């Protein structure tokens, strides 16, 4: 059974791949750090700017952290190939190094989208199957149609950095 945690302070943590990859909201408070430590998270990948989502002051002292800023629907633009490729390669490298938590501000578009992309490649699934899977694991998943179309056409072989 998938642990789905939502704390009173709005931190959300859901497994996408049990004991490998989780997604959720910004880890900005003590409860979030405790949750990440309890689930033995080693890496944190943020997909929004610090202005959008400020990390807990100790996050970078405890975890291997990286930020790759991807646009969301409020910015009315899609990520560039460079942005998505950078985020995707960091995610894959993090996963090779241990349990990884990926987040964006609301955990609706950007972090689920990156997880969908990973599930597509890892299990050779069509986008609809990967989307359904990520939605089952994280019911907040709701990327826009143009975002889904963008990753549906993502070329895994030609987009290596």
pLDDT digits (tens, 9 = 90+) for 45-85: 999 998 998 899 999 999 999 999 999 888 888 999 999 99
pLDDT of residue 72: 87
Distance CA 130, CA 33 (A): 28
**CATH number of residue 11's parent domain:** 3.90.190.10
Is the pLDDT assigned to residue 4 strictly greater than 70?
no
Looking at the domain assignment, is residue 158 inside a domain? no
Is the pLDDT assigned to residue 100 strictly greater than 50?
yes
**Which pTM does this prediction carry?**
0.91
Looking at the domain assignment, is residue 159 inside a domain? no
Q: What is the mean pLDDT of residues 136-149?
A: 95
Confidence class of residue 159 from pLDDT cuts 50, 70 and 90? low
Give the strand order in the sheet containing 43-46: 4-6, 12-17, 21-24, 100-103, 43-46, 64-67
Looking at the domain assignment, is residue 157 inside a domain? no
Are the C-beta atoms of residues 112 and 138 closer than 8 Å to each other? yes
State the total domains in the chain: 1
Q: Of all residues in the chain, what percent carry a pLDDT higher than 90?
A: 81
Looking at the domain assignment, is residue 109 inside a domain? yes
Looking at the domain assignment, is residue 161 inside a domain? no
Q: What is the mean pLDDT of residues 122-132?
A: 96
Looking at the domain assignment, is residue 17 inside a domain? yes
Q: Where are the beta strands (DSSP E) in the chain?
A: 4-6, 12-17, 21-24, 43-46, 64-67, 100-103
Is the pLDDT assigned to residue 6 strictly greater than 80?
no
Looking at the domain assignment, is residue 160 inside a domain? no
Structural domain of residue 75, as residue ranges? 4-152
pLDDT digits (tens, 9 = 90+) for 7-28: 445 899 999 999 999 999 999 9
pLDDT of residue 7: 45
Per-chain mean pLDDT for the chain: 91
- Other CB atoms within 10 Å distance of the CB of residue 97: 11
Looking at the domain assignment, is residue 82 inside a domain? yes
């Amino acid at each position: 059974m998938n642990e789905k945690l939502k704390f009173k302070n709005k931190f959300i943590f859901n497994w996408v791949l049990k004991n490998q990859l989780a997604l959720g909201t910004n880890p900005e408070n003590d409860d979030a750090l405790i949750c990440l430590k309890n689930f033995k998270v080693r890496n944190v990948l943020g997909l929004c700017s610090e202005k959008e989502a400020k990390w807990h002051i100790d996050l970078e002292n405890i975890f291997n952290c990286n930020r790759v800023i991807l646009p969301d629907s409020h910015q009315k633009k899609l990520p560039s190939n460079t942005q998505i490729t950078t985020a995707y390669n960091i995610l894959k490298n993090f996963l090779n190094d241990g349990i990884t938590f990926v987040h964006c501000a609301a955990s609706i578009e950007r972090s689920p989208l990156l997880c969908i992309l990973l599930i597509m490649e890892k299990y050779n699934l069509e986008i609809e199957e990967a989307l359904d899977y990520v939605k089952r694991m994280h019911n907040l998943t709701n990327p826009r149609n143009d975002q889904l179309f963008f990753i549906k056409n993502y070329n895994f072989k030609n987009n290596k950095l």
